[in-house]
Amino acid sequence: MSYKPVIGLEVHVELKTKSKMFCGCSTDYFGKKPNTHVCPTCFGLPGALPTPNKIAIEWCIKIGLSLNCDIPLFSKFDRKNYFYPDLPKGYQISQYDLPFAHNGFVKLKTDENKTIRIRRVHMEEDTGKLIHGIVNGKKASLIDFNRSGVPLVEIVTEPDFESAEQVNEYLQKLQQIIRYLEVSDADMEKGQMRLEPNISLKKSHPEQREEYRDSSSVIRRPQNDIPTYKVEVKNINSFRFVEKAIHYETERQRKILEGGKTPVQETRGWDEKRQITFSQRIKEQEMDYRYFPEADIPPFRWTKSQISRLRSQIPEMPDKKLKRFNDDYSMSGYYSEILTRERKMAEFFEETVKIGKKYNINAKKIANTIINKKIDANSILPAALVQSIIKQSKKTVVDEEELKNIALEVFRKNPKAVDDYKKGKNQVIGFIIGMMKREIKKPVENNQLKEVIENLLKIQ
C-alpha cells in the first residue's frame, strides 16, 4: 500500500512595530538582558489591562489582503486558555472564530500552478521564551518575558500541500510577501518567522479534483478525504529543516501505518543534531483551549472605505512585479526573478533605469551590470551606478602598432597558447586577449584585440 502526504502549515510572523501588541513596551528585545522590556501587562499582573496596537492590526489586515483574503467587517479578540510557564496570565489573547482575514489563496508555480488555500490570518500576542540550562549544578528552565506580548500574526493554510518541495516554495513566497510589505524582517534566526507543519498520510489513489469559484479565479483542489489524525511539528526556524522534518515524519508515519496502526495525534519537536522529530505532548483539541471572547477588548467594526484605504497602501507584489519586468523591460525570466527577490533591489533597478535613459543606457545593460557585478543597492546610488556604466563603456583607441608589439610580446611569453591556437583550439584566443589587457592597462575593445591577434598569427 502506498501513502500520500497531507500537509498543512501554521506560520507565525513577528511584526516589527515599535511597541508590543497590548502595551507600550519596546519590541526591540533581541539580544537584550532578560526581563528588561516588560511591564505589568507583560507579566499579566492583576489590574493590568490590554490596549490593542492599531498599527499591528492594520499590518495584519495588509498581510491578509496580500494573500487574497476576505476581510470581515466585524472581528474580535478571544482568550485561548492553557497553562504553561511562558504564559503568565494563564491564557493568550488571540483570535478564534472571527479573525481579521480568512479564505485566501497563494498560487505556486510548480505542479500546474497549484493553489494553496489560506484558512485564516489572525492576530495574537507572542509568549515568553524558555531558556534551558544548568543553575547551581542542576538542570533548570528560566523564563525571559522580553518577547511576551510582541505582535504575532499567524497564517494558517488548509492541508493542501502534497510534498515538502511545495511547502518550501510556499514559504519562500510568503517570506518574500511579508518583506515586500515591510511589516517584518521575517528573520528566522531571530525567531521572527516560525514554521509549524501539520503532517499526516492518506492512502494513495488516482487523484480526483473538484472546483469552486471565488471572485477572482477558479481554484482546483483535492477532494476532502483528510486523515483522522495529524502530527504537528513545532517552532522550526529554517526552510531546510522544515523539508527534513516533513521527509522524516512521513517515513515514520508510513512505517506505523504499514504496521496496521494509526499514528498518535501529537505535537512533536525537531532535533537539529539528530535530524529526527521527537514527541513533546499529546496534541490539544480546540475544546481544550476553552476559547471565549476577550472581555477587556471591545469587538472591531470596519467600514469598506477603511479596508480600501489599507488596500491602497499595499505595494506591487512580487509576482506582478516579475511579470511587469518581463513585459516592460523585455528581460528573461531569470533576470527578472533575481531583480524582484527583494523590494529594495527592484526599486533600485527601476530608479537606475530611469536615470540611464537620459544617457541611452538600456534596461538590459543595467540589469546585466547589477547581476553580474553583484551590485549592493545599499552601498551605491542609482546615479553613481549609471556613471560607472558610462565610464566602463567608453572606448579607448590604442595605437595599432603599439597593440602589435604587445601581442608579439605575449606570443613570446606564451608559446604553447600560440601553438594551440594554430592547431585549431580557437578558445585559446580568450586567454591571449586577457594577457594583452594586463599589459595595456587601459579599457580597450575585445574585437580590436582579436583582430590584431588573428592578423599576426596568419602572418606567422
The percent of residues in the chain predicted with pLDDT above 70, rounded, is 93
Choose one of 393, 417, 447: the last residue of a domain.
393
3-state secondary structure of 94: strand
What pLDDT, on a 0 to 100 scale, did the predictor assign at position 220? 47
The tally of domains found in the chain comes to 3
What's the average model confidence in pLDDT over 128-153?
93
Tell me: do 131 and 110 sit in the same domain. yes
Tell me: do 291 and 382 sit in the same domain. no
Choose one of 307, 338, 372: the last residue of a domain.
307
Which pTM value belongs to this model? 0.81
What pLDDT, on a 0 to 100 scale, did the predictor assign at position 210? 47
Tell me: do 260 and 206 sit in the same domain. yes
What pLDDT, on a 0 to 100 scale, did the predictor assign at position 423? 82
| E-strand stretches of 91-230 | 91-94, 101-107, 115-125, 129-135, 138-144, 151-157, 193-203, 209-213, 218-222
Tell me: do 343 and 439 sit in the same domain. no
Residue 412: partners with Cβ closer than 8 Å, 6 or more residues away: none
**Amino acid of residue 288:** D
Q: Report the alpha-carbon distance of residue 233 to residue 269 in Å, rounded.
A: 5
Q: Report the alpha-carbon distance of residue 281 to residue 222 in Å, rounded.
A: 30
Helix axis angle, 304-312 relative to 54-66, nearest 10°?
A: 70
Tell me: do 445 and 327 sit in the same domain. no
What is the DSSP secondary structure assignment for residue 149, as one 8-state letter?
T
Give the lowest-confidence range in 209-213, 224-228, 283-287. Answer: 209-213
Q: Whole domain around residue 363: which residue ranges?
A: 316-393
What pLDDT, on a 0 to 100 scale, did the predictor assign at position 444? 75
Tell me: do 295 and 424 sit in the same domain. no
What's the average model confidence in pLDDT over 12-34?
96
Give the lowest-confidence range in 314-323, 336-345, 431-440. Answer: 431-440
Choose one of 307, 329, 353: the last residue of a domain.
307
CATH of the domain at 410: 1.10.10
Tell me: do 176 and 299 sit in the same domain. yes
Q: Which of 229, 234, 227 is nearest to 267 (CA)?
A: 234
With a cut of 90, say whether residue 386 has pLDDT above it. Answer: yes
Q: Is the Cα torsion angle 388, 321, 69, 283 positive or negative in sign?
A: negative
Pairing state between β 129-135 and 266-271 = unpaired
Q: Report the alpha-carbon distance of residue 160 to residue 117 in Å, rounded.
A: 7
What's the average model confidence in pLDDT over 323-330?
91
Tell me: do 129 and 238 sit in the same domain. yes
Tell me: do 300 and 346 sit in the same domain. no
Cβ atoms 299, 99 nearer than 8 A = no
**Mean pLDDT for the chain overall:** 90
What's the average model confidence in pLDDT over 98-113?
90
What pLDDT, on a 0 to 100 scale, did the predictor assign at position 451? 85
* φ/ψ of residue 421, rounded to 5: -65, -40
Q: Which of 70-79, 419-428, 442-451 has the highest mean pLDDT?
A: 70-79
Tell me: do 9 and 140 sit in the same domain. yes
Tell me: do 372 and 300 sit in the same domain. no
Instruction: Give Cα 186 to chain centroid, integer Å.
Output: 7
What pLDDT, on a 0 to 100 scale, did the predictor assign at position 211? 46
Tell me: do 201 and 292 sit in the same domain. yes
DSSP symbols for 311-336: HHTPPPPHHHHHHHHHHHH---HHHH
